[in-house]
Amino acid sequence: MAASIWPSLIVIFCFSTLIQSSPFFPATNRDAPGPDRGGGGDSVRVSLTRNPNYAPNGPAVYYRALKKWGMTVPGQFAGHAAQKDYGDGEVSAKNQPDDKEYLSSVGIGTPLQWVNMDFDSGSSDFWVWSPNTAGGAVGNRSIYNPGASSTAQLVPNTTWHIMYGDGSEAYGNVYNDTVSIANISIPGSMIENAQFVSMSLAQDQVLSGVAGLAYNLSSEVYPSKPTLLQSLAPLLSKNLFTVDLKWHDAGEYNFGRIDDTRIAGNDYIHYTPLLDDASFWQFNFTGFNVGGDNKWYISSWEAIADTGTTLLLLDDGICKMYYAAVPGSVYNESLFTWTYPCNSTLPDFKVGFDNGWHATIPGKYMNFTVVDMSMPGWTCMGGLQSDQGQPFSILGDIFLKAVFAVFDIDNKRVGFSSKNLN
């Protein structure tokens, strides 16, 4: 599909000042501001901190994302060497944190035990390190000890097992216990207690576990049990959550309410329906523009909004068009990664939707990290990389940092607005 969309691609030439009101992105064709702008209810905020210690090299972050989504990992990085050298983020921390991961403090049990969870809109399991975890070193991370919680109950004959594309895995048993996200208390949550994690998963020494928030995807718990989103739904005044990630700064998740102070100026939330059988936060985007260019490319691309993926993974052809506008850029054939001199100027990248709105990702957000310091001026890696031919795109943190995002469960849609950027 990714390749076959190109014959149907329509190119619209327009002056950039007219883009806002071009026939394909009409300023008037927008959802009217309605009850979804703001609204009462419990505001539950979770501060996000960028993880300062999690610093695998840039390409490792890319291969990991490809593996998560079952995308082809090219060349030698698909093999064993990849896992050792790049695939699992084991390579040492030469570079900066560069927004590779965001962690939130979540409480579990009675009294609450605070752990650092990665909210992941691209998966559905809520799994956590515990004193029972074998394989990966517990290290210095905060963990959940069911034995120290008066409300923890082992769920009998229930197990979970997650296998990742690179062959690493985690599995264990399941506890029924209270989860507290800011001040929403969720009794009867299913806590997937890790009895084993692969060594490669333990490299991130701060992460306590993952809190999956995929739209309608079963967890890997057997027999099937409610997911965090299912347990959370009855407790929210509106069955939605919002994501406000920041460039090089802590962001915020908000459960149950849209905080309209996060929306820029006179803008409002522009909604896009999820695909019919969506299990992820899956929808179409329908156009793109490379800043400084007067062309909008119009077609339809399936995309998944994923807070748990650092990068923006798009069709190969889109990557080529973007990097054609980046001075000195090359597709590094040994890293399978788009790179450029760190002092290049990156153009803005715009993503258009059928509802008439488009997101603008500022050029500096399109930059990801330094990959090579041996050249004068250094070599950097872009936040936009190829989806390696997979028929869907991943709108990860590079995209999400540029928008205020609403993940609306009851209305089966995502909404985006512009926000004040740093």
Ligand X SMILES: *[C@@H]1O[C@H](CO)[C@@H](O)[C@H](O)[C@H]1NC(C)=O
Take residue 14 and report the two structure tokens written for it. 């327009």
Closer Cβ to ligand X, 43 or 159, answer by number: 43
Give me the long-range contacts of 321-327 (CB less than 8 A, separation at least 24).
321/290, 321/297, 322/290, 322/347, 322/349, 322/366, 322/382, 322/384, 323/382, 323/384, 324/290, 325/290, 325/291, 325/292, 325/293, 326/382
Q: Tell me which of 235, 275, 298, 421 binds ligand X, using CB under 6 A.
A: 275
Range 197-226, binding ligand X (CB under 6 A): 216, 225-226
Q: Does 376 bind ligand X (CB under 6 A)?
A: yes
Using rule CB under 6 A, residue 334 touches ligand X: yes
Active site residue 267: no
Q: Confirm if 245 and 102 have CB atoms less than 8 A apart.
A: yes
> Pick from 2, 65, 78, 155: which binds ligand X (CB under 6 A)?
155
Quick note: the x/- pattern for ligand X over 132-151, rule CB under 6 A, is --------x-----------
Q: Token pair for residue 255? A: 């459960």
Which residue in 183, 224, 294, 420 binds ligand X (CB under 6 A)? Answer: 183
Write the single-letter amino acid at 8.
Answer: S
Nearest by Cα to 365 from 387, 349, 344: 349
DSSP secondary structure code for residue 83 in this structure: I
Structure token pair of residue 138: 């517990």
Of 304, 380, 394, 398, the one binding ligand X (CB under 6 A) is 380
Catalytic annotation on 120?
yes
Binding pattern for the stretch 389-418 against ligand X, x by CB under 6 A and - elsewhere: ------------------------------
Which tokens belong to 364?
Answer: 């500096």
Nearest to 287 by CA among 312, 319, 318, 320: 318
**Residue 34 neighbours by CB under 8 Å, 6+ apart:** none
By the rule CB under 6 A, 44 interacts with ligand X: yes
Which listed residue (341, 360, 388, 421) binds ligand X by CB under 6 A? Answer: 341
Interaction of residue 360 with ligand X, rule CB under 6 A: no
Instruction: Report which of 341, 343, 306, 336 is spatially closest to residue 319, judged by C-alpha positions.
Output: 336
Work out which of 355, 369, 385, 386 binds ligand X, going by CB under 6 A: 369
Q: Which amino acid is at 44?
A: V
Stretch in the footprint of ligand X (CB under 6 A) among 107-115, 117-125, 376-384, 395-403: 376-384
Query: In the complex with ligand X, which residue's Cβ is closer, 303 or 405?
Result: 303
Beta carbon nearer to ligand X, 155 or 351: 155
Rounded-to-10 torsion of CA 135, 136, 140, 141: -110
Q: Kindly determine how many residues on this chain lie close enough to bind ligand X according to the rule CB under 6 A.
A: 41
DSSP single-letter state for residue 388: T
β pairing state of 330-332 and 413-417: unpaired
Q: Out of 16, 145, 176, 185, which residue is the one contacting ligand X (CB under 6 A)?
A: 176
Least distance between ligand X and beta carbon 17 (Å): 25
Contact segment (CB under 6 A) with ligand X among 67-75, 79-87, 374-382, 400-408 equals: 374-382
Burial readout 364-380 (b: 16 or more C-beta within 10 A, e: otherwise): ebbbbbbbbeeeeeebb
Catalytic residue among 36, 88, 166, 306: 306
Asked if 92 interacts with ligand X (CB under 6 A), we say no
Count the helix, strand and coil residues of the chain and give each as a percent rounded to the nearest 5.
15, 35, 45
Nearer to ligand X, 140 or 422 (CB): 140
Give me the active site residues, please: 120, 306
Residues of this chain that interact with ligand X (CB under 6 A) are 42-45, 96, 98, 140, 153, 155-157, 176, 182-183, 188, 216, 225-226, 273, 275, 284, 300, 330, 332, 334-335, 339, 341-344, 346, 364, 367, 369-372, 376-377, 380
